[in-house]
């Protein structure tokens, strides 16, 4: 298939683009490089440096589907600059959907997020559970999910939204490297690499066994594989939503311990206040995607995710 991957110079988009190429697809990456890296675009993919609001020109070349990753994705920033998140994540995606319709491209796989659920009433979270995002990032992603449902009904769009929980690990040399790093595992590994003295643990007074937040980590290679299955499942007139996690929760302290074990570094911690907007526990039920699309995580062990991230981060970029 001929595929457009928006945000394909970012962490998850580049891994998906690499897997699509391995499967023999023709891939064009569209990325404005505001957060992505040109050298993350996999060899073999065509590259267009542009924003999603300018996708019309590329799409007119004729594509079978779009995999849409380009987005602003920092929860804290979204609270400070909600307009940026609404215009980029919702406005940008509406422009992309309009350009797709004009070009006759009617299949899309969309990067949604566990942040659409907000503070869950129970875990593991099911796709049918209430969506009450607690920040503009989650709200903007939920708004896109809502638009996709409407467009599937109105225009026959075939859409699949994948709601990621906490993505970790690396795929060969493709790894997480944000300009502003907020994520837990890369921050811990920076300590082991000697780039920081300690890692801050945001809150030790949560209602969890060790007082720190619990998250569900999914390996980026497994997550990427789900996109290939989702692409095949795009059915005109339908919008499907699937959670993607491993179904097991790890506390922040447990993650630090796994990182200590993998890196052999003591990794000192500093206890810091809670980070605003962090739910205590986020664990996915991924039963639906396993049942309907046959997805199964091949690297469900957190140790493997950390080991892959560590190996990739100790290689030169």
Ligand X SMILES: O=c1ccn([C@@H]2O[C@H](COP(=O)(O)OP(=O)(O)O[C@H]3O[C@H](CO)[C@@H](O)[C@H](O)[C@H]3O)[C@@H](O)[C@H]2O)c(=O)[nH]1
Closest CA to 111 of 84, 133, 86, 138: 138
Question: Which segments of 64-168 are extended strands (E)?
Answer: 65-68, 107-113, 158-164, 166-168
3-class state of residue 282 by DSSP: strand
Question: Token digits for 179?
Answer: 């300009």
Q: Smallest distance from the beta carbon of 310 to ligand X, in angstroms?
A: 16
Q: For tokens 């891939």, name the residue.
A: 27
Question: Shortest Cβ distance from residue 237 to ligand X (Å)?
Answer: 28
Answer for which of 187, 198, 248, 311 binds ligand X (CB under 6 A) is 187
Q: What minimum distance in Å lies between the beta carbon of 56 and ligand X?
A: 28
Identified catalytic residue from 11, 85, 117, 137: 137
Q: Which residues contact 49 (CB under 8 A, 6 or more apart)?
A: 31, 32, 33, 38
DSSP letter (8 states) at residue 137: H
Choice between 108 and 309, CB closer to ligand X: 309
Considering the complex, state which of residue 200 and residue 235 has its C-beta at the smaller distance from ligand X: 200
**Interface pick for ligand X out of 252, 262, 281, 309 (rule CB under 6 A):** 252
Q: How far is the CB of 102 from ligand X (least distance, A)?
A: 30
77 binds ligand X (CB under 6 A): no
For residue 104, the minimal CB distance to ligand X (Å) is: 32
E-strand spans in 114-179? Answer: 158-164, 166-168
Site string for ligand X, 190-229 (x = CB under 6 A): ---------xxxx----------x-x--------------
Q: Which spans in 156-293 are helix H?
A: 184-192, 220-233, 252-263, 287-293
Which of 5, 11, 54, 51 lies closest to 29 in space, CA to CA?
A: 5
Q: Which stretch binds ligand X (CB under 6 A): 82-90, 92-100, 112-120, 309-317?
A: 112-120
> Smallest distance from the beta carbon of 200 to ligand X, in angstroms?
5
Block residue for tokens 């897997």:
19
Query: How many residues at the interface with ligand X, by CB under 6 A?
Result: 20
Cβ-based neighbour number of residue 313 at 10 Å: 20
Stretch in the footprint of ligand X (CB under 6 A) among 59-67, 102-110, 177-185, 284-292: 177-185
**Site residues for ligand X, window 134-163 (CB under 6 A)?**
none
Q: Which is nearer to ligand X, 2 or 275 (CB)?
A: 275
- Which positions ≥6 away from 99 have C-beta within 8 Å? 55, 56, 59
Cβ closest to ligand X, residue 184 vs residue 306: 184
137 is known as an active-site residue: yes
One residue of 9, 115, 147, 241 binding ligand X per CB under 6 A: 115
Rounded Cα gap, residues 78 and 86, in angstroms: 9
Burial class (CB in 10 A: 0-12, 13-18, 19+), 129: middle
Q: Which residues are catalytic?
A: 137
Contact residues toward ligand X (CB under 6 A) are: 73, 75, 113-115, 166, 182-184, 187, 199-202, 213, 215, 252, 275, 278, 282
């Amino acid at each position: 298939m001929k595929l457009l991957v928006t945000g394909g110079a970012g962490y998850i988009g580049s891994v998906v683009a690499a897997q699509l190429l391995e499967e023999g697809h023709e891939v064009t990456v569209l990325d404005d490089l505001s957060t992505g890296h040109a050298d993350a675009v996999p060899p073999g993919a065509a590259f267009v440096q542009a924003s999603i609001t300018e996708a019309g020109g590329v799409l007119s070349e004729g594509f079978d589907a779009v995999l849409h990753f380009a987005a602003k994705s920092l929860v804290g920033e979204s609270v400070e600059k909600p307009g940026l998140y609404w215009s980029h994540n919702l406005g940008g995606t509406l422009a992309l959907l309009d350009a797709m319709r004009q070009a006759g491209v009617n299949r899309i796989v969309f990067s949604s997020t566990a942040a659409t659920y907000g503070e869950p009433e129970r875990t593991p979270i099911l796709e049918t559970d209430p969506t009450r995002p607690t920040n503009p990032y989650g709200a903007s992603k939920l708004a896109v999910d809502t638009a996709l449902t409407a467009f599937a009904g109105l225009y026959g769009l075939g859409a699949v939204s994948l709601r990621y929980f906490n993505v970790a690990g690396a795929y060969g040399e493709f790894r997480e490297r944000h300009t502003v790093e907020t994520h837990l595992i890369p921050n811990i590994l920076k300590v082991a690499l000697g780039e920081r003295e300690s890692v801050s643990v945001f809150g030790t007074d949560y209602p969890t066994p060790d007082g720190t937040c619990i998250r569900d980590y999914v390996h980026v290679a497994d997550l990427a594989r789900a996109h290939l299955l989702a692409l095949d499942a795009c059915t005109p007139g339908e919008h499907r939503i699937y959670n993607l996690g491993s179904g097991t929760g790890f506390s922040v302290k447990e993650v630090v311990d796994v990182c200590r074990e993998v890196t052999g570094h003591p990794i000192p911690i500093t206890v810091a206040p809670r980070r605003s907007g962090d739910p205590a526990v986020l664990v996915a039920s991924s039963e639906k995607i396993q049942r309907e699309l046959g997805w199964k995580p091949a690297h469900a062990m957190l140790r493997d995710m950390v080991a892959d991230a560590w190996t990739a981060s100790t290689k030169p970029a």
